[in-house]
Every structure is written in C-alpha cells, then in structure tokens.
Amino acid sequence: MSLLITGGTVVGPTGPYAADVLVDGETIAAIFAPGTGPADGVDVLDASGKYVIPGGVDVHTHMELPFGGTFASDTFDTGTKAAAFGGTTTIVDFAVQRAGEVVGDGLAAWHAKAEGNCHVDYGFHMIIGGVDDESLKAMDSLVATEGITSFKLFMAYPGVFYSDDGQILRAMQKARDNGAMIMMHAENGIAIDVLIGQALARGETDPIHHGLTRPAALEAEATSRAIALAGVAADCPLYIVHLSASEALAAVATARDAGRNVFAETCPQYLYLTLEDQLGAPGFEGAKWVCSTPLRSKHEPHRADLWRGLRTNDLAVVSTDHCPFCFKDQKELGLGDFSKIPNGIGGVEHRVDLVYQGVVDGKLSLARWVETIATTPARMFGLYPRKGVIAPGSDADIVVYDPAGRTTISAATHHMNMDHSAYEGFEITGKVDTVLSRGTVLVSGDGAYHGRAGHGRYLRRGLSDYLL
Ligand code: URP
Ligand code: ZN
Ligand code: ZN
C-alpha cells in the first residue's frame, strides 16, 4: 500500500511550501498540491501543522572507532538506531587504515562491523592513516569500485593517524586525479604535542588543559596549510572537518571567496558548548567534553561566527563527529592525565533538533536547516538526489517534524550507548515526530520504534556534486 503524507509543509533548500507527498514502496512517487493526491488505495499520514523534511544525512560518525586504548561505545546497531530516533536516516562513517595496514583490510573490517547491523542506510569514508605507494593506489580502486569517494587525513595525532605535509600533498594529488574529496582534520599536532608535554610537566592534568593545549591558532594554521597544499595539488577538493575556530573559518572563507574547491563542516558541540562551561567543569567532569578540535572559549566570538558561517555557506554542513565514550571506564582512562582521555562526543541522535533550535532562535532559516543537515551533505558526498531531498524518485527517507513539540535531551532517555549526554538538560522547541527510511516507518508519531538492525543498506557513493 502507498502512503500519502498530507497537510504538511515540505521544506527543501528553496524554502517551505504546502504539499502532500506520495510514497510508493521505497521511493517518493509524487508531490501534490495540498488535497489533490489520490484519495483511495493509500494509507494516510496526517502531517498538519508539521514540517516534512528529507531524512537527515550525518556525514561524520565513528561507530566502534578504536581510540586511546578503547573503542567508541556505539556499535553500528546502537548508533544507527539512535540516529533513526533523531531523524537521521543516512550516516557516513569512517573506515580506518592505520600506517602499515592494507587499506582493503581496514575497509573489510568496517563492512564486517556494519553489515546486517544498521538501522539506517550507511556509507563509508576511508581514513588513510599511512600514506604510501600502496594506500595511494588503493584510493583509486576505492573510488572506482567501492563507492568510497572521500578520504580523511590527519594533521593531528602524531604516531596514530598523522600524515606529514609530503604525505598530504601526495594524497591530494591522487584525489585531484581521481575526483575524490580530501577531508582534513586540521590541527597542528606536532606543536600541540609540545604544548601537551609542557602542560603535563607543570602538573596541569585536568580536562580543561586538553582545550588550552589546542589553541585556535593551531587549528587556523593547519587549516591554512591544508588549503595551501590543496592549491599546490591543482585545487584538489578539500573539506575541513569539525571546524571550531573563527580563525579557521576566516581561512576557509578567504579560499572560497577566491573560488577554491574548499568546503567545511561544523558540529553542534561547537555551536552550543564552551571551553569554560563544559570542558572546564569542576574536577574530572570536563572529560565528557574532550574532543578534537576542542570546544572554544565563550569569551571569543567562535559560536556567533560559526552560526554566521552556516548562514553564508562558508560552513556548508553540520555533522556530529559522533564518537561516544562512556564516562565510567572510558573517559576515566584519562584520570590524572588529560592527554589520555579518549577524544570524542556523542550526538548522532540530536543534530536535527539542535540545528532546528537555531531556526527557533532566529539564527538560521528553515531552508538552511534542511540544507545543512540533509541536502548539502548528500550533495557534498555523492548521495544526491537519492538522499537529501523530497523529490519524485528519491528514496523515501522522510522526517515529519513537529515545531510545536518539545525535546528534552538527557542520558536517561537517549538511545545512544553512553552513560551521559553532552547536552544534558537542553530543551529544544521542536520534536522529531515520524521517521521513514526508504518508505519504512522506523519511528511513529507516538514515539514507538519499528525499525530493525539489518534494514540499513550500504551506499556506494558517487563524486561530490560541488565540483566542476
Ligand atoms: O574528538 C574527536 N573528534 N574524535 C574522533 C576522531 C576525530 O578526530 O574525528
Ligand atoms: Zn578528526
Ligand atoms: Zn571525527
């Protein structure tokens, strides 16, 4: 039986409009002027007073990521179920190759973790932790045959995922040739390690020192260097991940104004949370908010600048960088030494709500909400128009969103496998009501869950839409 979603306001990148949406099987069959759709032979979902938006696309998650002697606490099962509850119907996770490992083995390991376990559709980027002749060759075959068209490199974490400038340049030249996107963790990890050593030597061991040893200047320097290296690689497509600092945003904006293939994302934690209020919480509490890039000072204009960047498209995407660790036994690995706290914040369940709160607060338009959480990430990473838009022929990944609802974020009610919430007590004016993935109702308006592990399918992605 087909499903007609009636009475709602469809929101797309061009703005809101009243329309009824017909779902047939796994795809959107048609969009009708209100009240003009078929009357017989369809189930009806009444979306009166609600927004009808494309399912969220979160292009930065780390399910089960090995980090700092432990693993991110969400599996593909728990993490994608939580995503579904929050209105995200596609994730793109990071498969990992470390120095000395074969890229294909890392990819196979990620497929083994995800296959049969996902509640929503999923794709992979590949972390290249060891750039050498073999991994460079593998980049070509991943683009050509595996649907993996984006590669993350790290200017941070020396000895773990770090690449030096020569390795970065070689990978960028490869990407320029095969059309892939280079995703960059832009922090000067060599300088940061010096600052960490000096802080620890002074006995500065609390979580806040994680932020203080990763100053904005070292994010900005790495961002500028990545942009320069991509320029040397004939304007290789470059996407800066988890951008948090005004100074880094300024470097991206300058490159974009010059017409460069430079893009960037930010994450909800940088839009809402701060060095002083969260990372600087008393005692060891701040460990909950240890992530890299770090939360920035509330006495500097970072948060306001990031919201502005989202408005002006200098920041194209909001992803979560979902990388959850429990406080007990995982974050606690860094008791007495902040540098041993596993880096990451969980948030895959709350991105759609947290960015919608920006609409309520007058910081973003409805159209930019949908663009930054769904349409642009789909286009940026080769999933459009299958994902990211309400249009005939697209997958029926649809969220009915209730602007009159309320969401209270809490570890007591969230579905992520975390013993705390980075956003504990946050009140959102708005609520995910119904969630469909390829025409299947995963979450119904009464909050009941109907999804299952194994519903989610692997997505082979194309090249980015934003390149000539
Ligand atoms: O703190 C973070 N961001 N952890 C996940 C790994 C990364 O750098 O994205
Ligand atoms: Zn990173
Ligand atoms: Zn990440």
Q: Which helix (H) or strand (E) holds 268?
A: helix 268-272
Of 273, 227, 232, nearest in space to 247 by CA: 227
308-331 core/surface letters (b: 16 or more CB in 10 A; e: else): bbbeebbbbbbbbbbbbbbeeebb
Helix (H, G, I), strand (E, B) or coil at 243: coil
Q: Are strands 440-443 and 427-437 parallel, antiparallel or unpaired?
A: antiparallel
Q: Candidates 292, 325, 330, 338: which one to mutate for ligand 1, based on the most atoms within 8 Å of Cβ?
A: 292
By the CB criterion, residues less than 5 angstroms from ion ligand 3 are 321
Predicted local distance difference test score (pLDDT) of residue 1: 84
Predicted local distance difference test score (pLDDT) of residue 76: 99
Q: pLDDT tens digits for 298-327?
A: 999 999 999 999 999 999 999 999 999 999
49 Rama class: left (phi>0) / alpha (psi -120 to 50) / beta: left
Cα of 382 from ligand 1 centre, angstroms: 23
Cα–Cα–Cα angle for 444, 448, 454, rounded to 5 degrees:
90
Q: Look at ligand 1, atom 2, and give the residue with the nearest C-alpha.
A: 344
Assess whether the C-beta atom of 60 lies below 6 angstroms from ligand 1: no
Helix (H, G, I), strand (E, B) or coil at 328: coil
393 Rama class: left (phi>0) / alpha (psi -120 to 50) / beta: left
Q: Look at ligand 1, atom 8, and give the residue with the nearest C-alpha.
A: 292
Taking the C-alpha atoms of residue 331 and residue 327, their distance in angstroms, rounded to an integer, is 5
For residue 324, give the ligand nearest its CA: 1
Taking the C-alpha atoms of residue 408 and residue 103, their distance in angstroms, rounded to an integer, is 41
Helix (H, G, I), strand (E, B) or coil at 162: strand
Q: Look at ligand 1, atom 4, and give the residue with the nearest C-alpha.
A: 344
* Type of residue found at 17: Y
Q: Look at ligand 1, atom 5, and give the residue with the nearest C-alpha.
A: 344
For residue 66, give the ligand nearest its CA: 1
Taking the C-alpha atoms of residue 359 and residue 127, their distance in angstroms, rounded to an integer, is 33
Q: Are 229 and 165 in contact (CB under 8 A)?
A: yes
Token look-up 């390795």 returns: 167
Q: Are 219 and 300 in contact (CB under 8 A)?
A: no
Q: Look at ligand 1, atom 7, and give the residue with the nearest C-alpha.
A: 292
Q: What beta strand segments (E) does 297-425 contain? A: 317-318, 398-408
Predicted local distance difference test score (pLDDT) of residue 179: 98
Closest atom of ligand 1 to CA, residue 241:
9
Assess whether the C-beta atom of 125 lies below 6 angstroms from ligand 1: no
Predicted local distance difference test score (pLDDT) of residue 468: 75
Task: Show pLDDT as tens, one digit a residue, over the chain (468 residues).
Answer: 899 999 999 999 899 999 999 999 999 999 999 999 999 999 999 999 999 999 999 999 999 999 999 999 999 999 999 999 999 999 999 999 999 999 999 999 999 999 999 999 999 999 999 999 999 999 999 999 999 999 999 999 999 999 999 999 999 999 999 999 999 999 999 999 999 999 999 999 999 999 999 999 999 999 999 999 999 999 999 999 999 999 999 999 999 999 999 999 999 999 999 999 999 999 999 999 999 999 999 999 999 999 999 999 999 999 999 999 999 999 999 999 999 999 999 999 999 999 999 999 999 999 999 999 999 999 999 999 999 999 999 999 999 999 999 999 999 999 999 999 999 999 999 999 999 999 999 999 999 999 999 999 999 999 999 987
Cα-flanking dihedrals φ and ψ of residue 351, to 5°? -65, -45
DSSP string, 60-103: EE-TT-EETTEE-S--HHHHHHHHHHTTEEEEEEEEEEETTS-H
Please count the CA atoms within 13 angstroms of the CA of 17 that sit on its side-chain side: 13
